[in-house]
Structure 1
Amino acid sequence: MHMHRSTLTILFQDPFWIGLYEREEDGRYQVCRIVFGAEPRDQEVYLFLLEHWRKLQFSPAVAGGLPPEAIRNPKRRQREVQRETRTAGIGTKAQQALKLQQEQGKLERKVRSRQEKEAEEARRFQLRQEKRREKHRGH
């Protein structure tokens, strides 16, 4: 049986409003962080998701998933939510997935900048060699 579940949580992280889009497909958990800036209205969020759905960059898949939703006492759920927002802010699984995505981007930037640096050094070396050959031609 294929299980698909997704949630979008809008919250305020000083100084911006962000959206955490969490999705679970067949036991794989992924999260995407969306920065809105000013407090978004419902229709703005809906239009954003419609227009930018394909451009969202989700974190790499993490084993596990969202906890199963059980029918609980609403007051207890409210207390749990308040406790979580006081201590953790964002759900820990979402934080881990976002951190993993950030680290992956950091590694990619590092590799790319190293390659660019090496290419620039090779280009400069080639220029120096050409200048050297020009000097030794016997003008």
Structure 2
Amino acid sequence: MVIQSCLTIVFDGSFYKAILECHDDKDYSVASVTLGSSEPKMSLILKLINQDYQRFHFHHEPSRTRIVTKRINPKRAQRLANKAMKSQGISTKAQITLKKQFEEKKKLRKAQHATEKRLTQELRYQKRVAKHRKKHRGH
């Protein structure tokens, strides 16, 4: 099984983000981590990959297209890497997948907030009823 990974550092206006895309035979997964407002140093990037890999929360999506990989010439690989460095931005597939992940988190957050709100309202109602009963209990 071959796993291909691509780390892209992007400046989105106010923060630098690290976007990690992973392709294997069956899945495509993407994760994003905010690095901060200053330009990340190479030591920070290496530490992120080698030690803080658990900070990446991957969003998995089944791959529809199979990527055929074959061994390429090292000079060609270097040219392709330089070309990728010059082109700005991340792949649209990564953007779409990150957007889906964001929407799922948003739905989950809304559902949690709704249940918390309902529970606090129920608690306030119970307190109000108990206070009312205590007042009308008699001597």
Is residue 63 from structure 1 mapped to residue 63 from structure 2 by the alignment?
yes
Secondary structure of 2:58's aligned partner: coil
Identify the residue that residue 31 of structure 2 maps to in structure 1: 32
User: After superposition, where does 1:33-112 map in structure 2 within 5 Å?
Assistant: 33-37=32-36, 38-64=38-64, 74=79, 78=83, 82=87, 85=88, 89-112=89-112
Cα distance between partner residues in 1 of 2:28 and 2:63: 6
Deviation (angstroms), 1:25: 2.5
Cα distance between partner residues in 1 of 2:22 and 2:65: 8
TM-score, normalization by structure 2: 0.79
Cα distance between partner residues in 2 of 1:109 and 1:91: 27
Q: Which moved more, 1:109-118 or 1:18-27?
A: 18-27
Identify the residue that residue 127 of structure 2 maps to in structure 1: 127
Cα distance between partner residues in 2 of 1:12 and 1:61: 25
- Provide the alpha-carbon RMSD of the alignment: 2.7
Is the 1:3–1:27 contact (alpha carbons within 8 Å) kept by the matching residues of 2?
no
Structure 2 unaligned blocks of 5 or more: none
Letter aligned with residue 17 of structure 2:
I
Is residue 18 from structure 1 mapped to residue 6 from structure 2 by the alignment?
no
**Total equivalences in the alignment:** 131
Q: Which moved more, 1:6-15 or 1:109-118?
A: 6-15
Give me the identity figure in percent: 32
Cα distance between partner residues in 2 of 1:78 and 1:49: 22
Cα distance between partner residues in 2 of 1:28 and 1:63: 5
Structure 1 unaligned blocks of 5 or more: none
Cα distance between partner residues in 2 of 1:104 and 1:67: 27
Is the 1:32–1:98 contact (alpha carbons within 8 Å) kept by the matching residues of 2?
yes
Cα distance between partner residues in 1 of 2:91 and 2:116: 37
Q: Kindly tell me: are residues 36 and 66 of structure 1, through their superposed partners in 2, closer, same or farther at Cα, counting changes over 3 Å?
A: farther
Is the 1:17–1:39 contact (alpha carbons within 8 Å) kept by the matching residues of 2?
yes
Is the 2:27–2:60 contact (alpha carbons within 8 Å) kept by the matching residues of 1?
no
Secondary structure of 2:7's aligned partner: strand
Deviation (angstroms), 1:69: 6.2
Secondary structure of 1:103's aligned partner: helix
Q: Deviations over 1:61-99 (max 9, x none)?
A: 243368556867x59x849x64xx3xxx32100001100
Letter aligned with residue 9 of structure 2:
I
Is residue 8 from structure 1 mapped to residue 27 from structure 2 by the alignment?
no
Q: Kindly tell me: are residues 66 and 100 of structure 1, through their superposed partners in 2, closer, same or farther at Cα, counting changes over 3 Å?
A: farther
